[in-house]
Amino acid sequence: MERAFQRTQVLTNHLLQSSSPLPSQTLSSNACLSYSPPELSENYAFDVKEMRKLIDGHNLEERDWLFGLMKQSELFNPKVKGGKVFVSPDYNQSMEQQREMTLKRIKYLQERGVFKGWLTEKGEEIEMRKFAGFEVFSIYDHSLFTKLGVHFPMWGGAIQFCGTKHHHDKWLRDTENYSIKGCFAMTELGHGSNIRSLETVTTYDSNTGEFVINTPCESAQKFWIGGAAKHATHTVVFSQLHINGINQGVHAFIVQIRDVDGNICPNIRIADCGHKIGLNGVDNGRIWFDNVRVPRENLLNSVADVTPDGKYLSSIKNPDQRFAAFMAPMTVGRVNIAIGAVYQSKVALAITIRYALTRRAFSLKPNEPEVLLLDYPSHQRRLFPLVAKTYAMSFAANYLKVLYAKRTPQSSKAIHIVSSSFKATFTWNNMQILQECREACGGQGLRTENRVGHLKGEYDVQSTFEGDNFLLMQLVSKALFAEYMAAQKRNKVFKGLGLEHMNKPCPVIPSQLTSTTLRCSQFQMDALCLRERDLLNRFVADVLKCKAKGENTEQAFNSCYELAKDLGRAFSERAIFQTFVEAESTLPAGSLKDVLGTLRSLYASICIEDVSFLRYGYLSVDNGANVRREITKLCNELRPHALALISSFGIPDAFLSPIAFNWIDTNSWSLV
């Protein structure tokens, strides 16, 4: 009771501002916190410009020029906070306002020559320039990135790759100049991933030389079509083509949906998909076709054609192969989504780690300063594995971009498999990173102006558009199954997709893993190859068992879906790690290589820490504990390089957020 009385007296004296409080119970305030830029205390042990060259990989001057274009225009919503200028969309605007701002930004960029050559020039150089542009757009705003992605790689890409010369001559320059605004009408209400079962139907009228496109039922309405609700003038419609009563499968047709004044064309109905959890700067719409007639020349005919008298022609007789050839060029959408996810991870980590280098919480001893968030081992354990993962994804993204830019007919299968694998892995990783960063920023992560929390809603869609991630992992596993069976049937070695390790003796994980072993790149590669190899063998065996019980191939694959997902992930992480090792091998000895080696070991360790290594018996419980301890050590070793690692992302300050800098001044009363 005496203790309770004393505490009550202290509080009473404090509230009444008594001049005679109890001497031993005086309440005193700490000195006010002040912001100290991390640059004053953090050192750069390696050249951040050289690291940026390594992880960005290409077109650095082009990127910086684009950043500058956006910073200097009022269209990109510059705001001064805490003495710094930040550019970010105003997400408090209505959906309609956000859409109009996205359109104005595209026109601004077009008028300054940003898109010059994007569709009218060919070659590796222009492809890499486009990728650099999309990476910059993804840093600023997902709506800008997506609306441009629909217009150029999807609408424009469909004409480029599925069309022929007369399509190119008629449509590409106007598309590049943005006098035509294109969209991509593939997805339907009833069919998203299963493109082969689309319900839109097209027939041919030989009397008029026209195709007739029809939406036969409500589930056949085109759904989620970016650009369709307000701005698009034309679309590529994916539809079943019926010729003389025979369904020849899915084909693509150019259809005008609005006239030059923006009015919807006859026999076309368009509705708005409405407000979304993100991407409200993109006008997603729904389209119905009521026996819409288009000229015969509007069939994109690189794979198949219809003669004036209504005869169907294709050099590819097998419908499966024809469908594959027709869809192969569309992989650029997955490539763009994958690389965009990497750059959003960079934005989130740059903001969160800068905040953690200046925000303090709790003292370890009385009268000592509070501790920086990033000096807590738990905070390091949360964030540094994600930094390592982002570096790994950067190298893998660079590999994927070059693979696509140098594509040949022979490499189309590899591009399809790798892009599917990386798209799923990168977007899953990105959502994990955004969530962890949101939490690591505490309450400040909830504020829209600080970007990290808001980006979760903006990027959530990436897990499902251009292919549901679970289905993509099944697709990858099916492809690996086919490679395995083909090698067995021909009695030949594995070649391609990085599967050459299957030709070598099976690696063995030592019974006792030491720190030296865990940091050895050869051990790391062996461990990842062992998992992929074993899961492929298990997957093949289980599928064949299911087939032996009478299931058909698709049923067997569905029965083995858990193994399929694990195998797809194992393939992806091994492939990503391989690109990391290759990037590291290009460096001479020195501090840059040393830091990259630590990051590589951390990435490998978090892959090996995955539950699959215990589930399938590759690691003992004791070795699993050794891996976990090693991760803690690696995180601690990366702590001195924290600022340098995120500065190497090359993201200008204006594209981060207020909490990445002077968050005290940003929140001062004078700015209310």
The Cα–Cα gap between 317 and 200 comes to: 23
**57 phi and psi angles, rounded to 5 deg:** 85, -30
* Pairing verdict, β 182-185 and 234-243: parallel
541 shares its domain with 429: yes
Element (DSSP H or E) covering residue 134: helix 124-140
- pTM given for the model: 0.93
In what order do the strands lie in the sheet containing 222-226? Answer: 222-226, 284-289, 268-272
Nearest CA to 240 among 252, 232, 231?
Answer: 252
Q: Report which residue type is found at 54.
A: L
Question: Treating both helix axes as pointing N-terminal to C-terminal, what angle do 124-140 and 142-149 enclose, rounded to 10 degrees?
Answer: 150
Buried b / exposed e along 488-508 (16+ C-beta atoms within 10 A): eeeeeebeebbbebbeeeebe
Do residues 23 and 30 lie in contact, with contact meaning Cβ atoms separated by under 8 Å? no
Q: CB count, 10 Å around CB of 91?
A: 18
Q: Report the pLDDT value the prediction gives residue 654, as an integer from 0 to 100.
A: 97
Give residue 439's Cα distance to chain centre: 20
Q: Tell me, yes or no, whether 305 and 234 share the same domain.
A: yes
Q: How far apart are CA 80 and CA 3, in angstroms?
A: 51
Q: Residue 90: its pLDDT value, please?
A: 96
Polymer length of the chain: 672
Handedness of CA 577, 579, 581, 584 (dihedral sign): negative
* 187 appears as a binding residue in the annotation: yes
Q: How many whole angstroms separate alpha carbon 328 and alpha carbon 321?
A: 10
Which amino acid belongs to residue 376?
Answer: Y
In 3D, which of 630, 629, 604 has the Cα closest to residue 531? 604
As a whole number of angstroms, the longest Cα–Cα distance in the chain is 105
Partners of 242 in beta bridges: 203, 247
Find all residues with CB under 8 Å of 26, minimum gap 6, and list them: none
| Residue corresponding to tokens 């977007």 | 427
Q: Are residues 290 and 364 in the same domain?
A: no
CA dist list (Å): 655 to 321, 639, 652: 45, 24, 6
362 touches 371 (CB < 8 A): yes
Residues 538 and 642 in one domain: yes
Give the count of beta carbons closer than 10 Å to the beta carbon of residue 73.
Answer: 16
State how far the Cα of 56 lies from the Cα of 45, in Å rounded to an integer.
Answer: 20
**Cβ atoms of residues 148 and 118 within 8 Å:** no
Catalytic residue among 466, 483, 573, 630: 466
Predicted confidence at residue 20, as pLDDT, reads 47
Q: Is residue 583 part of a domain?
A: yes
Question: Angle, to 10 degrees, between the axis of helix 469-490 and the axis of helix 561-585?
Answer: 80
CATH of the domain at 238: 2.40.110.10
How many other CB atoms are there within 10 angstroms of residue 328's CB atom? 17
Our count of domains for the chain comes to 2
pLDDT of residue 23: 44
Q: Please say whether the beta carbons of 194 and 240 come within 8 A.
A: no
Q: What is the DSSP letter of 587?
A: S
Please state whether beta strands 284-289 and 268-272 pair in parallel, antiparallel, or not at all (unpaired).
antiparallel
**301 & 352 share domain:** no
CB 105 within 8 A of CB 71: no
Identify the domain boundary among 279, 312, 345: 312
For residues 561 and 592, is the Cβ–Cβ distance under 8 A? Answer: no
Distances (CA, A) of 242 to 63, 65, 214, 251: 46, 49, 11, 10
Query: Is residue 621 in a domain?
Result: yes
Instruction: Name the residue type at position 62.
Output: E
DSSP character string of 80-133: EETTEEEE---TTS-HHHHHHHHHHHHHHHHHTTTTTTTTT--SHHHHHHHHHH
**Collapsing DSSP states into helix, strand and coil, what is residue 301?**
coil
Angle of the 561-585 helix axis to the 377-405 helix axis, nearest 10: 90
Amino acid (one-letter) located at 50 = E
- The verdict on 364 and 239 lying in the same domain is no
Regarding whether 305 and 338 lie in a shared domain, the answer is: no
pLDDT profile of the chain (672 residues), mean per 10:
54 49 47 87 95 97 98 96 94 97 98 97 96 98 97 95 96 97 96 93 97 98 97 97 95 97 97 96 98 98 95 90 78 94 97 97 90 97 98 98 93 93 97 97 95 94 91 95 92 91 93 96 97 97 96 94 95 98 97 98 97 94 96 98 98 97 90 72
Question: What is the distance between the alpha carbons of residues 211 and 241, in angstroms, rounded to a whole number?
Answer: 9
Are 303 and 334 members of one domain?
no
DSSP 218-248: GGGSEEEEETTTTT-SEEEEEEEEEETTEEE
Residue 451, sorted as left (phi over 0), alpha (psi -120 to 50) or beta, turns out to be left
Q: Is 123 annotated as a binding residue?
A: no
Q: End-to-end alpha-carbon separation of the chain, Å? A: 46
Q: What is the pLDDT of residue 26?
A: 46
Residue 64 belongs to some domain of the structure = no
Tokens 């490539």 -> residue: 335
Q: Which of 298, 325, 113, 111 is nearest to 209 (CA)?
A: 298
- Are 472 and 601 in the same domain? yes
Write the pLDDT tens digit of every residue in 472-497. 999 999 999 999 999 988 888 999 99
Asked if 529 and 648 sit in the same domain, the reply is yes
Q: Could you tell me if 18 and 2 are in contact, meaning their C-beta atoms sit under 8 angstroms apart?
A: no
Q: Is 218 a catalytic residue?
A: no
Does residue 401 fall inside a structural domain? yes
Which residue reads 């969530």 in tokens?
435
235 near 154, Cβ under 8 Å?
no
Q: What is the CATH number of the domain that holds 371?
A: 1.20.140.10
Q: Is residue 232 part of a domain?
A: yes
Residues 288 and 355 in one domain: no
Q: Is residue 545 part of a domain?
A: yes
Is 418 part of any domain? Answer: yes
Residues 604 and 470 in one domain: yes
Rounded-to-integer distance, Cα 50 and Cα 593, Å:
11
- Answer whether residue 80 is part of any domain: no
Range of the domain at 270: 182-312
DSSP 188: B
